[in-house]
Amino acid sequence: MSHANAVLTPRTRLRLARLIIDEHYPVRVAAKMFMVSPVTARKWAIRYRTEGSAGMQDRSSRPRHIPHKTPEAVKKRVVALRWRLRLGPAQIAGRLGLSPSTVHAVLARCGVNRLSHIDRVTGEPLRRYEHPYPGSLIHVDVTKFGNVPDGGGHRYVGRQQGHANRRTSENVTRGKNYRALIGTAFVHTVIDDNSRVAYAEICSDEKAVTAIGVLERAVFWFAEHGVTVERVLSDNGSAYKSFAWRDACARLGIAHKRTRPYRPQTNGKIERFHRTLADSWAYARFYSSETERRDELPRWLHFYNYHRHHSAVSGPPISRLNNLPGHHT
């Protein structure tokens, strides 16, 4: 392919070749006039004599024959080991007697060089999906965090001081062997499949009545932002399998869908949100008490929805809700 600093472009090659073939200039003289080697000038002259003007165009530099090319049967074995056993290039190379660089090249060409692109259970390439508009599907789930004792938890003050803080907290209860228990925060989360806009509440349990209340408030919250919820996807928790939940979805005009048992990947968007919630809010900094951490949740949710750049949305999640009519697309 010709580039900006190329001496001979297809048009200049043609001029050089015509000078040698049609006007009978010596090869060395013509080569000196165009500041190329005689070998190069003779090459283009031969091409012009045999192919005409069409021979002046660029050709692929790909070799006609690759004697050491990896056979197709070996490629299939490499990909099969990657999918089924999730082995790395070094492990696959050891099993098949190949070079790790060769295995990596095969995996890269087949698009399976990253394990994140392969399903952990089936070994098949991941099939990612996204519903076409906000409200078409929302994901619901519950994640749990241990309450922060007064004075801070062991993640920041160390285990010895953390255990001492647990024993002296105001709301501590006693379990087996008189062990101090500070309770659990049940965070009910709702996330829109298309926009990734999130809604969350901290509750004292994960019963059906509590989950239904969160769903009703979430639906109302989304309605205030111009989103009508049509479907809800949940796991197979007892709250979401109850008749009360079924009746609540029917009353709200929402179709309920559940994931396949033992397949949290189906609800992967909200599972990934839980990881972000833990890293950026629950364990992001030192909290001197559970009250302080809970007071921080609304501010963090506002930051997540309105300011945090989401790679799947190419901007903050709220940007898709601000463009529901499609005026800016």
Domain ranges of the chain: 10-56, 72-117, 138-147+184-321, 152-182
Environment class of 55 (CB within 10 Å of its CB; exposed 0-12, middle 13-18, buried 19+): middle
Q: How confident is the model over 116-135, as pLDDT tens digits?
A: 666 665 656 666 778 889 99
Span of 173-187, 251-265, 283-297 with lowest mean pLDDT: 173-187
Q: Average pLDDT, stretch 76-92?
A: 87
> Could you give the CA distance from residue 266 to residue 64 in angstroms, rounded to a whole number?
46
Compute the mean pLDDT over every residue in the chain, rounded to the nearest whole number.
86
> Could you give the CA distance from residue 172 to residue 157 in angstroms, rounded to a whole number?
18
> Could you give the CA distance from residue 41 to residue 13 in angstroms, rounded to a whole number?
8
Environment class of 253 (CB within 10 Å of its CB; exposed 0-12, middle 13-18, buried 19+): exposed
% of residues, the chain, pLDDT over 90: 54
Q: How confident is the model over 224-266, as pLDDT tens digits?
A: 999 999 999 999 999 999 999 999 999 999 999 999 888 777 8
Full 3-state SS string of 169-233 = CCCCEECHHHCEECCEEEEEEEEECCCCCEEEEEECCCCHHHHHHHHHHHHHHHHHCCCCCCEEE
- The amino acid that residue 89 corresponds to is P
% of residues, the chain, pLDDT over 70: 87
Compare 304 and 312 and report the one with higher pLDDT: 304
Fold of the domain built from segment(s) 72-117 = Arc Repressor Mutant, subunit A (1.10.10)
Report the CATH number of the 138-147+184-321 domain.
3.30.420.10
